[in-house]
A and B are shown apart, each in its own frame.
Chain A
Amino acid sequence: MRRLPWVSAGAVGLIILAAVLAPHIGLADPVGMDVAHRLAGPSPTHPLGQDEYGRDVLSRLLWGARTSLGIAFAAAAISCVIGTILGVVGGYVRGIAELLTVRSMDVVLCFPPLLLALLVVTLLGPGASTLVPVLVIVYLPSFTRVAYAGVLSVRGHEYVTAMKVLGAGRLRIMTRTILPNIAGPILVQFSLAAASAVVLESGLSFLGLGVVPPAPSWGLMIGAARGTMVQAPLLLLWPCLALTVTILAMNALCDGLRDMLDPHPAARRVSWFSRFRRRAPTAPLARVEPDTVLDVRGLSVAIGDPAEGRYAVRDVSFQVKAGETLAIVGESGSGKSLMSLSAIGMAPAGVEVAAGTSGMDGADLLALAPGELRKLLGDRIAMIFQDPGSSLNPVHRVGAQIAEAIRAHRPVSAAEARERAVAMLRNVGIPDPERRARAYPHELSGGMRQRVMIAMAIANGPRLLIADEPTTALDVTIQAQVLDLLAALKRDGGLALLFITHSLPVVAEIADRVAVMYAGEILEEGPTAEIFAKPRHPYTAALLRSAPQDDGPAPEGISGTVPVPGDLPAGCVFAPRCDKRIEICDETRPSLFRIGPGRSSRCLRWASL
């Protein structure tokens, strides 16, 4: 919850105060004419001058505030009370009451508000006594809807059920339990209605169909001053200013209230442009074996400004070779997705690569110009994401989305790209690919969508495929199909696969090598079979124990949680949860020890495990 918007609340308060005090601060009579001094300029007795009938402008302005705000608040208050009752009853009782209260309000919404007002004015004649009922009718539906929606969302909650079980009557539940919970949105709606009523009232008065002269009203004053705007422009400007400032303050108050009551405040948005920056290379690239596709060294990623020291990824190094699968394993929050996105220059907004290199074909991906990186992404580097439902664009046909990836990198015609897209869909085992290419993502099943994602990723024959939890959102049978598909692609195409997952059974099935990540660090790395047979880090061992096995002991959980960036233990990051901890573990953060061919561990006690 944010703070109350003091500035706008204060401004609205001052205007209300002026309106309330208008009769008591010794102002001139707002309707007292003095035709001899019509259109007179400011004078000591009339600080803002006199209008076309010689009436005091300041007095009329303040009395006008009284009229406008009085009518607006009265109308907003009445429609608030009636609308809330209708909405609560309709939402709580449902059935015929719902039809009569909520649905009937929809009818009012068939009319533009001003038109509805004019229709009523024709029947009842103009005047303040007409304006209030008119405005009540106009704003009633919005209150009913807000209250109704609030009740619907609240009525299913446990505490309402609890009240029922305790034998509380309907009326009691409605007033004691539901009303306090919908008070926030109703309050916002009240301020919206009041602000909007000021606009509507002044508009009607301006047309001469609202407040009846000679009563002071800003709308009337503006309407009247139009006739003399050339001789006395100030006469026009004062009420315009008063009206605008009032509405500005009320609108600002509405926005502030809404922000204050919003349970999910929008995170500070970071400009999208900030992600398209180029950074200077931090180190020369190391020499690598010719079949290494991706060579990441010393990668550190900071959340926010690196100077603040909140590192989500620290000193991560690994290599992936052609035709090889490296699985990155770890609990949620271990930084594995962030690390892999950052390694190919796709760090999300608000995250910055602080150090490291990411070599591919002799170039550092982290130091490439945005345009050069773009040429590699989708061509030589491709990605598959966890949720195929949200990772595909809902408004384009899937064939077009694949064709778009092809045309971004290959000089082919639209028709040819379309044909290739269909061929890719056939390659990933989608039946009837011509028809499916014309489908929208929501028309396909989850497994089918993930196949589409894979087809899109491999459309340009990438050398590196990063699969970020590609099977997590799928059910088990589909999972197996997708894994088979990825394995086949790797086998046939010499693809380097970086597979991110938290599922050890999946790792056992697909990976050649495993890197275990925890709290932004790689704790252990090695060939899959060796890691599973003889883990050299207590965390790996604990992970293995926590995975269900067909034959063997029941799975064991790991107590405690992954530490958050910026609040890490001083020594080994796993020490607080480790069952093999000794004193030194809490003091020294271990480096990654090379413990055998292709094997490394970050545990000080790796030899004794």
Chain B
Amino acid sequence: MEWFAKRLGISVLLVWIVASIVFLAIHLVPGDPAELLLSQGGAAPDPAIVEDLRDQLGLNRPVLEQYLHSMANLLRGDLGNSLMDGAPIAGEIATRLPRTLELIGAAALISVLIGVSTGTLAAVAAGGPFDRVASALAGLGLSVPVFVIGTLAILGFAQTLRWVPAGGFVAFSQDPVQHLIMLAMPAGTIAVGLSSTLFRVTRSAVLEVTMRDHVRTARSKGLSFRRILTRHILRNALIPVVTVLALNLGTLLGGTVLVEYVFNWPGLSGLLVDAVNARDYPAVVGVVLVISILFVTLNFVVDMLYAVLDPRVRHG
């Protein structure tokens, strides 16, 4: 319980640090931020418009006041308004966040199912034909950037074979089947890299655990092969697998941005890419903040999972 409270405390601290950095980023850049955001290709922007933006962003007030103000707003869930259309950013994020989460969840689920099962099979028959083919495929899967996979998948499955639409989104409540079909391509695309990573870790973790003394003990107890594999080998091998999953969360979230863009999945990243293109600073800050909080939260969840898997951690 004490351990739990400590991890939770650290996570809250991290969120605060992230929020502060995102706030400070605009002040760390040399020059006037408003002018910077409005400058296009070297042409000096109209001073009146710059002044307007400064006012809108609250840049004319003392930095400390701005900071406290934005932190207080953040606590109330207010992320400010978009510079493009003046709409509240928090509302836009609230509609899009669940779609991003769904995509991440589906991709992680597919990756764990494929990566852990094939990794285990490859380890059990290490050096055999399945192991060699799967290891080579995983090496390739790790090397193809996620947007290349997505683009090629559209070319192959959508444009040439015409099995699935090239992208887009239908709400689950509207048409569940179509929703899942449209989810399959982006989720599968993210899963290529992640399942390759998980394959590799699972394979080497299973091989490593197999050599341990307690597996010999399990054999000496006369347990069945399946029981030794599941309860004694896999159960222990999952610990490094979870560690690596945690290390890859950042790549996963980054990959989600690209994949949402490729498949027109209306999650957070569409908002983000548009906002970056339009130099809509409040919107970028809002999305980056939310995804970073998501990142910290996922790390916290992984820590919890870690504690469930490894009783030794709970005491450390």
Contact = CB atoms under 8 A, between A and B. Distances in A.
Interface of A: 107, 109-115, 118-125, 199-200, 202-203, 206-209, 219, 222, 226, 229-230, 233, 236-237, 240, 243-244, 247-248, 251-252, 269-273, 276, 346, 348, 370, 374-379, 381-383, 385, 387, 390-396, 404-405, 408-409, 440, 442-443, 453, 456-457
Contacts of B315: 442-443
Contacts of A200: 254
Interface string B97-139: 0000000000000000000000000011111100000000001
Given A123-B25, A208-B277, A393-B232, A346 B219 contact: yes
B164 to A, nearest CB: 15
B225 A276 contact: yes
B124 A271 contact: yes
A119 B272 CA distance: 10
A375 B224 CA distance: 9
Contacts of A376: 222
B212 A206 contact: no
Given A111-B288, A207-B273, A393-B218, A269 B127 contact: yes
Contacts of B232: 393
A248 B139 contact: yes
Given A346-B220, A374-B222, A240 B151 contact: yes
B214 A110 contact: no
A396 B207 CA distance: 20
Interface of B: 14, 17-18, 21-22, 25-26, 29, 33, 36-37, 39, 123-128, 139-140, 142-148, 151-152, 154-155, 159, 207, 210, 212-214, 216-225, 227, 231-232, 235-236, 239, 249-251, 253-255, 257-258, 261, 272-273, 275-277, 279, 281, 284-285, 288, 291-292, 295-296, 309-312, 315
Contacts of A230: 159
Residue among A111, A112, A270 with most chain B CB within 10 A: A112
Contacts of B276: 118, 121-122, 209
A107 B221 CA distance: 48
Contacts, number: 220
Given A110-B18, A123-B29, A378 B223 contact: yes
A113 B127 contact: no
Nearest to A116: B288
Contact of A207 (B261, B285, B312): B261
Nearest to B15: A110
Given A112-B249, A272-B210, 8 more contacts: A115-B254, A122-B284, A123-B29, A202-B145, A247-B143, A269-B207, A271-B124, A376-B222
Nearest to A120: B25
Contacts of A440: 311-312
A408 B221 contact: yes
Contact of B36 (A123, A219, A375): A123
A110 B19 CA distance: 10
A111 B26 contact: no
A395 B235 CA distance: 8
A207 B251 CA distance: 16
Contacts of B26: 123
Contacts of A114: 253-255, 257-258
A115 B292 contact: yes
B293 to A, nearest CB: 10
Given A110-B296, A209-B273, A390-B214, A244 B144 contact: yes
A125 B45 CA distance: 15
A394 B284 contact: no
A395 B236 CA distance: 7
B251 A113 contact: yes
A269 B126 contact: yes
A233 B272 CA distance: 29
Given A202-B145, A251-B143, A392-B214, A112 B250 contact: yes
Contacts of A118: 257, 272-273, 276, 284, 288
B213 A390 contact: yes
A393 B147 contact: no
Nearest to B310: A395
Given A247-B143, A247-B145, A271-B128, A394 B217 contact: no
Contacts of A378: 220-223
B310 A394 contact: yes
B29 to A, nearest CB: 5
Contacts of A385: 213, 216-217
Contacts of B292: 110-112, 115
